[in-house]
Amino acid sequence: MSRPLVVLGVTGGIAAYKSADLIRRLKDQDLDVQVIATNSALKFVGETTFAALSGKPVISDIWDKAHDVEHVNVAKNADAIVVAPATADFLAHLVYGFANDALLATLLVAKCPIILAPAMHTEMWENFATRENVATLRKRGFLVLEPAVGQLTGEDQGVGRLPDTTEIARVVKQVVNRKTSNLPKDLSGLNVLISAGGTREAIDPIRFIGNRASGKQGVALALSALSRGAKVTLVGANLNVAVPAGVEFVAANSALEMMEQMTLRAGSADIVIMNAAVADYFVPNPEESKIKKSTDKLNIELSKTGDILTVLSENKPVKQYLVGFAAETTNNNEELVGLSKTKLEKKKADLIVGNKVSASVGISSDENEAVLVTSNQAISLPKTDKLALADAIWDFIVKDLAKVGQERKSPVEPDLA
Ligand code: CTP
């Protein structure tokens, strides 16, 4: 069977040198790569480098194979297109439908999912024009990744770096695995609030008690909800993954901060998902200076944190749909359902997503499997990548939400058109 084809568009920014590595990372994900580079991109990296790494001639000139209408053929055969780096100038051209080079012409023809990884100076990224362009592109269904923070071209630091190439390749693979463009807009008009990641509790200014959660599943849930038309707020604790542009992001790195941010926002949400791995215990009085290794044994006194999910359910508006997670180290499905049911009843959520956690599945890995447990249902979802699992969880929520809405008389009415 032939491998899925990904078009890698490269535009003219300094991060173009990282696109060479991105070709490798896409190939690691079993994807075929066709590079389309703009003339400015080729001022940063030679055509030979792209051709050698991708194993295909680079497309750069719209006049090259006029008889073959290359940009139309490539656009039709691609399973996904990723533009990395995407410059501010390129985003602006895309918004206005320009087609004056091979990459823009290809994008104008393409019907497959398109991922954009912008990289530019902080001021350019934060400029009103760029913000508006990103918002417009997102509304049209482009998946725009949030740039990373760090060193930029020269001495300057800030937001605007190309996200890690392994991370971009992972997102591309997930998008290829499912048909993003086919997702129903069944969450349009709804406010969705999701917590993700793992909290850290300070011991002293340098050390903390933490967990292995990466935030991948919560970010996948946010991305899926965004694609389905929801307005999404993500309250994240120490995330290891890029937050998609278009998701409102709020940082909450400790259990206490997470409690504050979630309770502050939950009142106006139609659906709340507590996906974050929240510490059960914290250090009430962290040391103000670094603890020295002066004794053979060290005791640190811990106090219980407040249970956010329980607080949210106690204060929940009637129409709200509340989802919790249950991370369990069992290998037995029946036991997982039982443990999830206990959490469902104890914390009074509408749904508990029970997931198995081990070295290869669940926390911090790319794959997950789960059971969905409500007061009268228990459904198993097989092991798959976290974005596909997020889609399946939303499929279930949308259906259950309609039922629960009717039972509660004043229904939350998702747009099921
Ligand atoms: N949770 C929470 N506040 C906490 C701890 C957990 O809101 N202080 C939420 C999690 O986000 C998750 C659910 O409660 O949605 C279950 O979390 P989990 O860690 O699986 O269970 P715990 O309630 O902590 O119980 P235990 O660790 O004993 O299994």
Residue 359 has pLDDT above 80, yes or no: no
Residue 382 has pLDDT above 80, yes or no: yes
- Tell me, using a 6 A CB cutoff, whether residue 276 lines ligand 1: yes
List C-alpha distances in Å: 325 to 50, 91, 114, 397.
Answer: 44, 38, 31, 14
**Residue ranges matching CATH 3.40.50.10300 in the chain:** 191-290+299-403
Residue 410 has pLDDT above 50, yes or no: no
Residue 332 annotated in active site:
no
pLDDT of residue 196: 97
pLDDT tens readout for residues 242-291: 787 678 899 999 999 999 999 999 999 999 999 999 999 999 999 999 99
- Tell me, using a 6 A CB cutoff, whether residue 308 lines ligand 1: yes
Task: Give 5-180's CATH code, choosing from 3.50.50.60, 3.40.50.460, 3.40.50.1950, 1.10.10.10.
Answer: 3.40.50.1950
Least confident residue range of 35-49, 98-112, 155-169, 310-324: 155-169
pLDDT tens readout for residues 178-188: 654 567 889 98
CA 211 distance to own-chain centroid: 19
The DSSP letter of residue 37 is E
Q: Which atom of ligand 1 is nearest to the CA of 262?
A: 7
Whether 200 contacts 253, CB under 8 Å: yes
pLDDT of residue 73: 85
Q: Which atom of ligand 1 is nearest to the CA of 323?
A: 15
CATH number of 191-290+299-403: 3.40.50.10300
Q: Which atom of ligand 1 is nearest to the CA of 312?
A: 7
Rounded CA-CA distance 156/319 in Å is 48
Q: What is the CA radius of gyration of the chain?
A: 23
pLDDT of residue 369: 85
- Tell me, using a 6 A CB cutoff, whether residue 255 lines ligand 1: yes
Whether 340 contacts 290, CB under 8 Å: no
Q: Is the Cα torsion angle 307, 313, 317, 321 positive or negative in sign?
A: positive
- Residue nearest atom 24 of ligand 1, based on CA coordinates: 280
Residue 365, SS3?
coil
- Tell me, using a 6 A CB cutoff, whether residue 213 lines ligand 1: no
- Tell me, using a 6 A CB cutoff, whether residue 330 lines ligand 1: no
pLDDT of residue 388: 85
Residue 334 has pLDDT above 80, yes or no: yes
Catalytic entry in 39, 191, 211, 299 = 211
Q: What is the mean pLDDT of residues 76-99?
A: 96
**Residue ranges matching CATH 3.40.50.1950 in the chain:** 5-180
All residues at 6 or more sequence positions from 274 whose CB lies less than 8 Å from its CB, including other chains: 195, 262, 308, 309, 312, 322, 323, 324, 325, 349
